[in-house]
Amino acid sequence: MKKLISLFISLAFAGSSFAQMSGYSTSQSNGTTLGANETLTANGIALGNAVKLRGYINTALYRNDAGSGTNAYDGTWLNGDMDFLVDLSPVTAEVHLTAGDSTADSVGLEQAFGRYSFNQDFHLTFGRQMTVLGFDSDEFTNRYAVTAAYGLNSRKASVDGFRVNYNNGMFGLILGIHDNYGLNDPTEIDGGMAVDLAASVMFFPGLEARLGIANENGSTNDDTTQVNGWIAWNPSDLTLAFEFDTIDNDDGSDSWDIMLLANYQFSDFFGATLRYSHIDVEVGGLNADTDRVTLALLFDLTENFALNFEYSHAEVDISSSQSSVDELYLQALLSY
């Protein structure tokens, strides 16, 4: 823990130094977004002077084959996202509604939070917000593949609480207190509490590093800690990223993951992603690990419509039992 705190302090000093040298501000799009007021800079359909609307409709065909005809299955999913962004500066707010998922039809409130900006760099957010640890976006429109590194959905979760945010473009910092962090029981709100702390530095435009820690103390005497860090380099059309993630539980069920990603945008029309991810889980005396390789072909047919293809192959080792899984996804993604 002392080493992590020292690293946060080092990141803060480095970020402040780079910001002073470069004169970076949150208005620049190639700065870090951690802790920033993205409500003001987000694109969307204007609904009057103070409200913008944005969202997407995501549909996909998929096939999962675990090595034999009896273990193969096909399916579809259809989901959507509708966000309302309100600007009454210095007060801003966002409401995110979702509909449908990969298994069942549902309508839910994903996020609903307000923000008070003391100045352009320092903000207080409160309400239901998405957790910040992890490289993969919770939004399908901001991913480098159809799926996230460790499965279909990212590991981010909607939690209730408040967060202190700082962002000067080159350096971002958040400190939050929430009802839970989705590490134990995501529905747990009776006596549980979670704290998260994350820092991000844009060393120079294109090279960003993030480090975060979250601790969730549940009401059933279960304590869970997640540490996540990643570094990404984006020189022009190439994006390279590395991520590590650990989750430690008091009950002894621990896990760690790594991810390596390379994406190249060949043109405005076509991009491709190659990704490797490893998951290692220990539960009781049982050990399971998975190696997953993903190839995604991404086609932007128009500014608002994408057609994406993904193939993933995973090798699964559970104690002495080994198996493989092949996944195919064909996704149509309409954004507005």
Q: Judge contact between 57 and 80, C-beta under 8 A.
A: yes
* Cβ atoms within 10 Å, residue 273: 21
CA angle 134, 137, 142 (to 5 degrees): 145
The pTM of this model reads 0.85
Q: Is the pLDDT of residue 116 over 80?
A: yes
Q: Find, among 55, 235, 232, the residue nearest to 135 by Cα.
A: 232
pLDDT of residue 220: 58
Hey, what amino acid is at 16?
A: S
Percent of the residues in the chain that have a pLDDT greater than 90, as a whole number: 68
What is the overall mean pLDDT for the chain?
Answer: 86
| Domains: count for the chain | 1
pLDDT (average), residues 114-138:
97
In angstroms, the CA 222 to CA 286 distance is 20
Poorest-pLDDT segment among 100-109, 194-203, 237-246: 100-109
CATH of the domain at 276: 2.40.160.10
According to DSSP, the β-strands at 207-217 and 223-233 are antiparallel
Instruction: Domain of residue 208: give its range.
Output: 2-335
In angstroms, the CA 297 to CA 215 distance is 37
pLDDT (average), residues 15-31:
39
Higher pLDDT among residues 187 and 85, named by residue? 85
pLDDT of residue 107: 78
In angstroms, the CA 325 to CA 316 distance is 8
The confidence band for 277, taking pLDDT boundaries of 50, 70 and 90, is very high
* Cβ atoms within 10 Å, residue 334: 15
Q: Is the pLDDT of residue 63 over 80?
A: yes
pLDDT (average), residues 269-274:
98
The confidence band for 238, taking pLDDT boundaries of 50, 70 and 90, is very high
| 12 phi, psi to nearest 5 deg | -65, -45
* pLDDT tens profile 75-114: 888 999 999 999 999 999 999 999 886 444 577 899 999 9
